[in-house]
Amino acid sequence: MDIELIRSLVEAWGPSGRESRVRTVIEGYLSGLVDEVRVDRLGNLIALKRATLRPPAGAAPLRVMLSAHMDEIGLVVSHVDDKGFIRFTNVGYLPPQSLVGNRVVFENGVVGAIQVEKGVRAWEGALKMNNLFIDVGASDAASAPVKVGDMGALAGSLVCQGDRLIAKSMDDRIGCAVILQALRQLKRTPHDVYAVFSVQEEVGLRGARTSAYAINPDIGIAIDVTLTGDFPEAAPMSVALGKGAAIKVQDSSVIADPRLRALMVQRAKEARIPYQLEVLTAGGTDTAAIQMTREGVPAGCISIPTRYVHSISEMVDINDVQACADLLTAILSKPIDLG
């Protein structure tokens, strides 16, 4: 797995609705891997790798849609007070307790420190978003280098510690990395593979919904992160770092197509790819938007186990990331027959 590919993705700036910088990075990696690349009107990046193996006699290649979202959680300025301090609200789900003391970078490069009002005891669970402010070093509103409506994202770089990688925006740049790695590994396929790098997932699965409508796929596979149950006082969950690709059974927005889930397990076993089954009690992915497109699409999800999702220190295991890419490659390399 290419660490520098991952680094370039997770360190790129791109909250929901402002994904152009991430899209440019991904476009560079797609060169030579696919037959067509386009950007739709919402901003989704859609790459097509045409079938290179002949399908069964008389059959057309299946349209297989992959989807990983480019956007990251962020924030938007809602008020600048007369002393130049910034009030903000979230773009996507931001746990307030994870923000205090962290830095935020705005689209124009300005960096601010997130702090909490005096007297608010964040450790007791009383912290709300309106208790937080951003200090950009301004002396008054007129000198503040950001204004109402400006978007920001958490500031942080990739850290590699053995097999463990820590960064902001693993959700879901690591899913984008999995698709790119699978395209590198995919030499031949009987399918027309549409690789979608979607926008605005964190605010309502918007990009996957519109791109799936346009593609009208026969099969849909999302690639996204999932929670784990392997750290102190984590909610009980049978997903852990280092135990392989997670194959989704269900989450709060979707029940994965059982035929596609069974095929994923079969391909993992055939290729001796480590895997685990995922039942997520909260949260959702592009899978739900794909599944509910038009008259319905058989859809599933390959998930990357991730600790501390929606924080500046999301953690993955590089072996799980590679297992996800290998599983996706194994699925796309052979015919898909859901019966």
Q: How far apart are CA 263 and CA 269, in angstroms?
A: 10
Catalytically annotated residue among 201, 202, 278, 314? 201
201 annotated active-site = yes
CATH 2.40.30.40 in the chain: give the residue spans: 74-154
Q: 256: helix, coil or strand?
A: coil
What is the side-by-side order of every strand in the sheet holding 45-49? 36-39, 45-49, 192-198, 63-69, 219-226, 299-305, 245-250, 275-279
pLDDT-derived band at 120, boundaries 50, 70, 90? low
Asked whether the beta carbons of 241 and 315 are under 8 A apart, the reply is yes
Beta bridge partners of residue 80, listed in sequence order: 86
CATH of domain 74-154: 2.40.30.40
Condensed to tens digits (0 to 9), the pLDDT of residues 165-222 reads 999 999 999 999 999 999 999 999 999 999 999 999 999 999 999 999 999 999 999 9
Can you read off the two tokens belonging to residue 87? 């009030």
Condensed to tens digits (0 to 9), the pLDDT of residues 243-281 reads 999 999 999 999 999 999 999 999 999 999 999 999 999
pLDDT of residue 310: 94
**Sign, CA torsion 107/112/115/118:** negative
For the residues 219-236, what does the mean pLDDT come to? 95
Asked whether the beta carbons of 254 and 291 are under 8 A apart, the reply is yes
Condensed to tens digits (0 to 9), the pLDDT of residues 125-166 reads 678 888 999 999 999 999 999 999 999 999 999 999 999 999
Asked whether the beta carbons of 112 and 104 are under 8 A apart, the reply is yes
CATH 3.40.630.10 in the chain: give the residue spans: 3-72+168-333
Q: How far apart are CA 293 and CA 212, in angstroms?
A: 6
Name the region of 149 (left: φ>0; alpha: ψ -120 to 50; beta: rest). left
Q: How far apart are CA 219 and CA 63, in angstroms?
A: 7
Beta bridge partners of residue 15, listed in sequence order: 72
Q: 170: helix, coil or strand?
A: helix
The superfamily CATH assigns to domain 3-72+168-333 is Zn peptidases (3.40.630.10)
